[in-house]
Structure 1
Amino acid sequence: MGLNIGARLKAVRQSNGLSQRQLAKRAGVTNATISLIESNRLNPSVGSLKRVLDGVPISLADFFALEVGEEDSRPPVFFTANELVEIGRGGISYRQVGADLTGKALQMMSERYAPGADTGRIPLRHEGEEAGLILSGRLEVTVGDQMQILGPGDAYAFDSSQPHRFRTVGDEDCVVVSACTPPSF
């Protein structure tokens, strides 16, 4: 049975009252790096792990000497705002609930589109279903040959194998809570 580096790092980070983002900043790595290590999707080199641990700070020897119980390796149930994993870029923020979606059927995200943000001229297309609820701002949603501008309280749901595109309308951010099955990012 191997050592669970991810659970160990998460336990150390949380016991020191640090969010993933705070540890990443201290260590000079990306938030995604911390998230990937904690979810055991990235096995860091000793040098990389030392760099991350220097952000706590804790020595490699102390880190490996820690007793981490079985309960630490269970999948998380609750997520603070700082633990949502940023997977977007540019003018679009996709903050995913949970880091490791391996074997999961559902992907849930908090999305933020900056004014003028657009998913691109080439429509998106992937197997599954998508749904979202607009919390603030206005979003132009195009699915196949249908287009609608949605505002707060409006929603969409469609078969995501159809070509689709999202674009912010207006001069304020658009915030959406969305779900996708199966995970597509």
Structure 2
Amino acid sequence: MNMDDDLDKALDAVGPRLRALRKQRETTLADLSAETGISVSTLSRLESGARRPTLELLLPLAKAHRVSLDELVDSPATGDPRINMRPTTHRGMNGMTSIPLTRRPGGIQAYKLVIPASSGRSEPDPKTHEGYEWMYILNGRLRLVLGEHDVILEPGEAVEFDTRVPHWFSAAGTEPVELLSLFGKQGERAHLRARPKAKN
């Protein structure tokens, strides 16, 4: 394989990576267009692979997604099964850091999420978007506001929900929360449920 083939392979991977980053940030094409000055149609064609990415387009997108240019164009080595885990910190989501654990575009995405300890000042601001999410708490305590429910999840507990229901989550207390998250487009469910607590 020559250098031109390597470049083509890397550029072909940019579209799915751009879509995954946007979905991860829960940002619409219209929002991203307003943030970068790139038209919605151009963004859509970039994500689908119909438009060849250029430096002029990738620079504002890298800035908007808060990743380096290398992260947009650097694809994992062919045949290497290891996941290239690069954490992303989301300033607008209680400072949450997400670490991707899968790299399959369009399917169920797995993340490890780390949410800093609560400052006590954050008020719930529920959002909605297309998809279905499953979470499993590893460490710490998570406060989840889901529709009319306001619950605290402990280590070892799991929850799944339709993300079209207004939802918001944050650390509950003075320690950070670590959790695993599976996120899929509507209809792709994890089929894993929390075991109900035994009643005393």
What is the TM-score with the length of structure 1 in the denominator?
0.57
Q: Tell me the equivalent position of 1:78.
A: 82
Among 109, 113, 135, the alignment partner of 1:111 is 113
The answer on whether the counterparts of 1:120 and 1:165 sit within 8 Å (CA) in structure 2 is: no
1:87 maps onto 2:88 in alignment: yes
- Structure 2: which amino acid aligns with 1:109? Y
Q: Tell me the equivalent position of 2:144.
A: 141
The gaps in structure 2 that reach 5 residues or longer are 11-65, 187-200
1:105-184 correspondence to structure 2 within 5 Å: 105-116=107-118, 121-182=124-185
The gaps in structure 1 that reach 5 residues or longer are 9-29, 41-71
The answer on whether the counterparts of 2:124 and 2:145 sit within 8 Å (CA) in structure 1 is: no
The answer on whether the counterparts of 2:114 and 2:176 sit within 8 Å (CA) in structure 1 is: yes
Encode CA deviations 1:108-131: one digit per residue, 9 max, x unaligned: 100001011799743121112100
1:39 maps onto 2:65 in alignment: no
Encode CA deviations 1:20-47: one digit per residue, 9 max, x unaligned: xxxxxxxxxx86432211139xxxxxxx
- Structure 2: which amino acid aligns with 1:108? A
Aligned length: 126
The answer on whether the counterparts of 1:140 and 1:169 sit within 8 Å (CA) in structure 2 is: yes
Q: Distance in 2 between matches of 1:6 and 1:116?
A: 44
Q: Distance in 2 between matches of 1:133 and 1:96?
A: 15
Q: Distance in 2 between matches of 1:93 and 1:143?
A: 21
1:140 match: secondary structure: strand
Q: Distance in 2 between matches of 1:6 and 1:31?
A: 21
The answer on whether the counterparts of 1:7 and 1:38 sit within 8 Å (CA) in structure 2 is: no
Encode CA deviations 1:59-98: one digit per residue, 9 max, x unaligned: xxxxxxxxxxxxx435x5322xxx3132332321011124
The answer on whether the counterparts of 1:7 and 1:73 sit within 8 Å (CA) in structure 2 is: no
What is the TM-score with the length of structure 2 in the denominator?
0.53
Alpha-carbon RMSD across the aligned residues, in angstroms, is 3.2
Q: Distance in 1 between matches of 2:8 and 2:96?
A: 28
